[in-house]
Every structure is written in structure tokens, then in C-alpha cells.
Chains A and B, each alone.
Chain A
Amino acid sequence: DVKVTQSSRYLVKRTGEKVFLECVQDMDHENMFWYRQDPGLGLRLIYFSYDVKMKEKGDIPEGYSVSREKKERFSLILESASTSQTSMYLCASSPQGRGETQYFGPGTRLLVL
């Protein structure tokens, strides 16, 4: 059974803080993704990675960066958190190949004050 875990379920940070969100998957998946989920906007892709140390920008990368030093771990970094980044953040992973199923983590609800 695929397991994707995220470091925190809830997080409260202050404007300007550097924020780290971590995601770990245990199925040896090549691909990992970070989305943010906002009401009425669905899931929007921030960044994704198809291999260790590889990353590609998604649809809304501004204000975010990522790191993938190990295959199982994909980190999302908010360099200087802003109130507009208050959201639900979802991590996902999928095996290599076109159109493969993405498996999601439980999400991190981030509040930036």
C-alpha cells in the first residue's frame, strides 16, 4: 500500500518566516509533486520532480522553491512566507511513466499571520 506522509498537518507561521514542508513516500516512486489547494481553484501545481536533484516549475512557482536530495523525500520551501500563501498544501507521488496514478499525502494546512 502506497504511503505518502507530510511532516505537519497544521502549521502557523508569521509573515517573512522561512517555512519548510516535507513529504516522504515509501514506494520508490520517481515522481513527486507539490500542489496547493484553495476553494474554487482546485489543485494547482507548484513544483514537481522526476528524479533526485531534478525539479521543474509548475503553474504557480512564484514564492516557492523545492529540494529533492533523496528519492523518497521532496521538500517545499517558502523563502519568505506571506499571507497569500495561507493554504492547504498537498504532496503527491507517482511511479515513472506517462499518466500514472498520483498518490496524495494527507496535506498540510498552513496559516501565515
Chain B
Amino acid sequence: GENVEQHPSTLSVQEGDSAVIKCTYSDSASNYFPWYKQELGKRPQLIIDIRSNVGEKKDQRIAVTLNKTAKHFSLHITETQPEDSAVYFCAASNSGSARQLTFGSGTQLTVLP
């Protein structure tokens, strides 16, 4: 089955700096890659996603890039703010069953004021 590895597990940045979180996946047939943000005590919520026919996608301060050849994708947050502090999870669709997602282990992002 699919295996998703996520790095780093913790990341601290100064407010205003950029943050990058990287994930690799194993199943070359995976074609959907969402990113979820989970604030403390709250449910995970989708912040951005990308499909395999696209190399990059942006939404304001958030961007995701996908390298299908290398089987890795990354989340980029620019001009970080304290409210960006949360756990971020990447995920990849599982080609074995059309609706499954395999999640990475998560990255605790802390934005220091």
C-alpha cells in the first residue's frame, strides 16, 4: 500500500518568515495530494490540495508543489503569522481503493512572535 513520509516533525519560524514542509509518497499511481491543518483541540481541516496533472497551486500565502518524478510534494507558507501555528498533515490518495487517503505523521509548526 501507499506510504507517506513527512518532514520535519517540528518546525519553528519567526513571524514573517517562510515555512516549508515536505512529504514523499511511494505509490506512483497516487494522483491527489491534500494538506490539512489541525489547530490545538480542533478537527483537521483542508487548506489546499493538488492533483497530479498540476505542478503547483497557490492560495494567498499558501502554495503546494508536486514533483511526480521524484514522488514528493511540499507545502510552502509565506509571511507566517502566529495563527499559522498548528499541526499540518500531508496525504496521498491510495490507488488501491479510490477513496482512501494515507496521511503523513504530521508537522508541528510554531510561529514565534
Contacts and interface: CB of A to CB of B under 8 A. Distances in A.
Interface residues of B, number: 26
Interface in A61-104: 90, 94, 96-104
Given A40-B9, A50-B99, A58-B100, A101 B106 contact: no
B46 to A, nearest CB: 5
B28 to A, nearest CB: 15
Most buried by A among B9, B93, B105: B105
B62 to A, nearest CB: 15
Nearest to A94: B99
Given A98-B93, A99-B32, A48 B100 contact: yes
B89 interface: yes
A108 B99 CA distance: 23
A104 to B, nearest CB: 4
B98 A98 contact: yes
B99 A100 contact: yes
B65 interface: no
A35 to B, nearest CB: 8
Interface of A: 4, 31, 35, 40-45, 48, 50, 56, 58-59, 90, 94, 96-107
Interface of B: 1, 6, 9, 31-32, 34, 36, 42-46, 49, 51, 89, 93, 97-106
